[in-house]
């Protein structure tokens, strides 16, 4: 589909947002819905997303992100935070969602519960966190792809002090750790990065075909 291809060429990691332009409520909904509907391993969704509009908080986050301008110029800052661990409580809250969505009893989900717990139990604590973080990145991918298709600008950002972000957003007490964020809004006409040619591996560099 040509439209999608053009959208992915149009997008870029926006450095300067137009601080005067805000996403509509509907646009925010569209982005968040994309992240919410993204798949995750077993459907666990071992992460949460902090949606920051508050100016004072954004200034604090900016300081913890080496002063990067997107934090205060973008329309919204969306911080992806992964669960520090994947434990029985997390799996049980997932099972409750399964039971509710599919009209099943918890009893009937016992085998599924044990299977998920069994697969998780083989991982170290650090392994569980890394696994949770990867699931958040799938959702980030859905959000960024959707933004491009909707002509919404975005910049994925990993360059920030995670511990400071966790403190500012009270993530520790929720059992979460910040892993990545997307600043979203509309590019400024002044952003000289908008016009730079994209740098990507060629098909030969990225793909190997086994026919």
- As measured in angstroms, the least distance from the Cβ of 52 to a second copy is 5
For residue 120, state whether it binds a second copy (rule: CB under 8 A): no
For residue 107, state whether it binds a second copy (rule: CB under 8 A): no
Binding window for a second copy (CB under 8 A); candidates: 16-24, 84-92, 132-140, 183-191:
132-140
Show Cβ contacts of residue 165 under 8 Å, excluding neighbours closer than 6 positions: 61, 64, 65, 79, 171, 178, 181
Q: Which of 63, 87, 150, 164 binds a second copy (CB under 8 A)?
A: 150
Show Cβ contacts of residue 1 under 8 Å, excluding neighbours closer than 6 positions: none
Distance CA 146, CA 44 (A): 22
For residue 35, state whether it binds a second copy (rule: CB under 8 A): yes
CB 109 within 8 A of CB 98: yes
- As measured in angstroms, the least distance from the Cβ of 189 to a second copy is 21
For residue 41, state whether it binds a second copy (rule: CB under 8 A): yes
Distance CA 90, CA 93 (A): 5
For residue 149, state whether it binds a second copy (rule: CB under 8 A): yes
For residue 115, state whether it binds a second copy (rule: CB under 8 A): no
Nearest to 96 by CA among 115, 112, 85: 112
- DSSP code per residue over 142-195: HHHHHHHHTT-EEEEE--S-HHHHHHHTT-GGGTEEEEEEEEEE-B-TT-GGGG
For residue 142, state whether it binds a second copy (rule: CB under 8 A): yes
Binding site for a second copy (CB under 8 A): 1, 4-5, 8-9, 11, 13, 30, 32-39, 41, 43, 45, 48-54, 57, 94, 97-98, 101-102, 119, 130, 133-134, 137-142, 144-146, 149-150, 156, 158-159, 169, 179-180, 196-201, 203, 205-211
């Amino acid at each position: 589909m040509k439209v999608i291809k053009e959208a992915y060429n149009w997008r870029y990691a926006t450095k300067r947002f137009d601080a005067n332009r805000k996403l509509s409520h509907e646009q925010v909904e569209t982005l968040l819905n994309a992240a919410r509907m993204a798949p995750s391993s077993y459907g666990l969704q071992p992460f949460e997303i902090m949606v920051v509009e508050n100016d004072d908080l954004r200034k604090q986050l900016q300081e913890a992100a080496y002063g990067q301008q997107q934090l205060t110029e973008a329309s919204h800052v969306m911080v992806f935070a992964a669960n520090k661990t994947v434990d029985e409580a997390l799996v049980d809250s997932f099972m409750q969602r399964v039971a509710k969505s599919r009209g099943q009893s918890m009893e009937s989900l016992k085998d599924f519960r044990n299977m998920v717990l069994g697969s998780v139990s083989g991982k170290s604590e650090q392994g569980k966190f890394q696994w949770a973080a990867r699931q958040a990145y799938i959702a980030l991918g859905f959000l960024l792809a959707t933004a491009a298709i909707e002509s919404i600008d975005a910049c994925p950002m990993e360059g920030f002090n995670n511990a400071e972000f966790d403190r500012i957003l009270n993530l520790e007490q929720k059992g979460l750790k910040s892993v990545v964020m997307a600043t979203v809004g509309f590019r400024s006409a002044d952003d000289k990065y908008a016009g730079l040619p994209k740098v990507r591996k060629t098909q030969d560099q990225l793909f190997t075909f086994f026919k």
